[in-house]
Amino acid sequence: MSTPAAERDQRRTLLWVLVLNAALFVGLGLAGWLADSSALLANALDNASDSVVYLISFLAVGRSETWKSRAAGASGVLLLIFAAGVIADVVRRWLTGAEPLGPTMMVMAVVAAGVNLWCLLLLKRIKVDDVNMRAAETFSFNDFISNGGILVAGGLVLWLGRSWPDLVVGALVALIAAKGGFEILEDARKSREEGTR
């Protein structure tokens, strides 16, 4: 059972992470659009879905385990929807062509990695172990890994002068998100089963 002080700390941290992810959504979305980068746009959409998930987690603080497991389940479904949308965008860009800007991808990947690492460290400080906090950590860790992939893709785009590294990383970001979505759904299912015992 969490204390009121712990719940306040949890809410404050989730609010910080929510604001940081919303800022990343705007920054990465604008950069992805200007740089014609599928990987940056995928990362921007991922941060948008993360922002919604952090909002759900914020609202779940202090609520019943059933409410928390349902909120986490909604987060997992949202991640799967995001992944499907990104795959559709990658296919569209593969068919119509794209000219991503490697340097912009690399700079934004480094900025986003720093912000996501900060979010992950903030979340790790919270000692409450519930399904929503585990979901929030999964999101931040997935984002940090995705940023590394975008950095590599930007370097390859710059070096090779081709768009395929951007498309490949865009698809990989979607697959990482899908994996995280399935893990969150499984964790939420287990949490519900434990709650009925």
Summarised one tens digit per residue, pLDDT across range 16-72 is 999 999 999 999 999 999 998 988 988 888 888 788 778 877 887 777 777 777 777
Judge whether 12 and 122 are in contact, CB under 8 Å: no
**Cα–Cα distance between 34 and 53 in angstroms, integer?**
27
pLDDT at 197: 58
Q: What is the pLDDT of residues 118-154, one digit of tens each?
A: 988 888 887 666 666 777 777 788 788 888 989 999 9
Q: Where do the H-state alpha helices sit in the chain? A: 4-35, 38-60, 65-96, 102-125, 131-160, 164-196
Is the pLDDT higher at 89 or at 2?
Answer: 89
Is the pLDDT higher at 73 or at 117?
Answer: 117
Q: Does residue 1 have a pLDDT over 60?
A: no
pLDDT at 132: 66
The pair of structure tokens assigned to 184 is 């969150």
pLDDT at 79: 80
**Cα–Cα distance between 90 and 86 in angstroms, integer?**
6
pTM (2 d.p.)? 0.77
Q: What is the pLDDT of residues 109-128, one digit of tens each?
A: 999 999 999 988 888 887 66
